[in-house]
């Protein structure tokens, strides 16, 4: 079973695109984190954020 849903993949893809072309984020990890966070808020299938 897939860990991430289609919505989460799309959001992360959008954020990575913005990071590459618009330099909105400092690095790829930050862009991925924002994409997953946005997908979770919109009800997409993504694992819960770790509590570290």
Give the domain range for residue 29: 6-41
CA–CA distance, 30 with 36 (Å, rounded to integer)? 10
Residue 26 forms part of a structural domain = yes
Q: How many domains does the chain have?
A: 1
- Residues with Cβ within 8 Å of residue 13, at least 6 apart in sequence: 35
DSSP 19: H
Q: What is the pLDDT of residue 31?
A: 93
Residue 37 forms part of a structural domain = yes
Residue 48 forms part of a structural domain = no
What tens-digit pLDDT sequence spans the chain (52 residues)?
568 899 999 999 999 999 999 998 899 999 999 998 999 898 888 878 778 7
Residue 50 forms part of a structural domain = no
9 is written with which tokens? 């993949």
Residue 1 forms part of a structural domain = no
Q: Model pTM?
A: 0.78
Residue 49 forms part of a structural domain = no
CA–CA distance, 4 with 11 (Å, rounded to integer)? 11
């Amino acid at each position: 079973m897939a860990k991430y849903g289609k919505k989460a993949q799309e959001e992360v893809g959008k954020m990575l695109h913005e990071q590459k072309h618009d330099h909105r984020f400092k690095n790829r990890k930050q862009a991925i984190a924002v994409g997953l966070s946005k997908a979770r808020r919109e009800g997409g299938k993504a694992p819960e954020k770790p509590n570290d």
